[in-house]
Structure 1
């Protein structure tokens, strides 16, 4: 009798608990239910031809991971600089402020950039275009006084590459690989996403490529690097 009364009181207590109507959705027969979901993209599984292809892809991914944060930072600094310059009317003050930003950025990551390899430098120049919407050369042209020394000294002279290089993942295999690496890293929370200022549909691009990863050019590049290292050891 006692057990029965206790069970009944527990059932009664559950039945009288407050119900939050927001936790439920009532749908009548024939109604249409619309649920808004956060946007996401599905990336197909890679199709590598061999284990060596995987090895070279991972090697190139390390290069992208190293270069991307600097391009991301450059974009943030440029946005802040441009926003500030719009509020400064005096040419003298604009020039002075630009030089201050230049000095700050040089101290922030110039030494790290100088330690980059040629491949990392090339990727960085492309990512500068991706993140800022302008090539490194165009950025210099717009902000000559402040960024000329920075980019020419730390990028062109170090890597001996073209600052006019653009980023076209829909046309260039290397750029496609870079974008593929970035998108997968964003989804896996390995890199902090920053929206590109360029216009391209990567979902369409990747569907046309059918997830085949072409790493032939990097095999040649990687072989040359290994050969140089062996020669240095011999010497």
Structure 2
């Protein structure tokens, strides 16, 4: 037997379900309207962009915490570009030039400052020689790769060595011992090889051995690498170079052979 109490509970449950369905229908209706408005606004915005920015070719909606970012690609002057719409404002994407941040040198004493500026003067003095060495080595390798006969290669290497000796030896003899060691490091920087290995590869191991013995008499090692990540002096040298490149005091060498990919 159905009591009035059970009828009341059944009516209450039924009424609750109806309210949920109505609320759900309204919710779907609101969402549908919002989506329609969004589509209309987007259509209007991108229709304007088609004339103002260029032809829109791709649109992507990125949900965020408080809003939705609209990222789109468009074609202008034959170039594909990217922009973002943020709160109604169109922000174009631009690739900026790389900016290198260099720590300003600090000194704990006047002596440390003095040593730094002495090192800077020497680096500025010998870096052009390292650039010439690197460029000449690129030219040498470029020429050698066009020769197939070993005798022709040996003759060309000998001519190259004669040229270097006549062109640079008088100037290099004027360098101090410390400048000579810095030059060896910078040649390693520009070629990726120590002076000892360069002589060994392009002359002979025997010649490289005796050159290194003679250099050792002047406290110069032809095997010295350039390791700014590990060596404190090399790190200072690299900072001096980078600052000089930024200030236009020196021009950094760009290797041209083998060609970069």
Fold-level match, TM-score > 0.5? Answer: yes
**In the TM superposition, what are the counterparts of 1:81-160 in structure 2 within 5 Å?**
81-144=140-203, 148=207, 152=211, 156=215, 159-160=218-219
Q: Structure 1 190/98 Cα, relative in aligned 2: closer, same or farther at 3 Å?
A: same
CA distance in 2, matches of 1:172, 1:133: 16
| 8 Å CA contact retained: 2:138, 2:255 | no
Which of residues 132, 145, 153 in structure 2 aligns to 1:73? 132
CA distance in 2, matches of 1:44, 1:171: 17
Look up the match of 1:161. Answer: 220
TM-score by length of 1: 0.65
**The structure with more strand, counted as a fraction of residues:** 2
Relative to structure 1, the CA distance from residue 195 to residue 169 in structure 2 (aligned partners, 3 Å threshold; closer, same or farther) is farther
CA distance in 1: counterparts of 2:255 and 2:89, whole angstroms: 43
Q: Distance in 2 between matches of 1:111 and 1:157?
A: 20
| Unmatched segments (≥5 aa) in structure 2 | 1-75, 78-82, 257-261
CA-CA distance at 1:62 after TM superposition: 0.8
- Say if 2:228 and 2:238, in contact at 8 Å, map to a contact too: yes
SS of match in other structure, 1:31? strand
Please tell me the root mean square deviation across aligned C-alpha atoms, in Å. 3.1
2:117 equivalent in structure 1: 58
Q: Which residue of 1 aligns with 2:106?
A: 47
More contact order relative to length (CA 8 Å, sep ≥ 6):
1
Count of aligned positions: 173
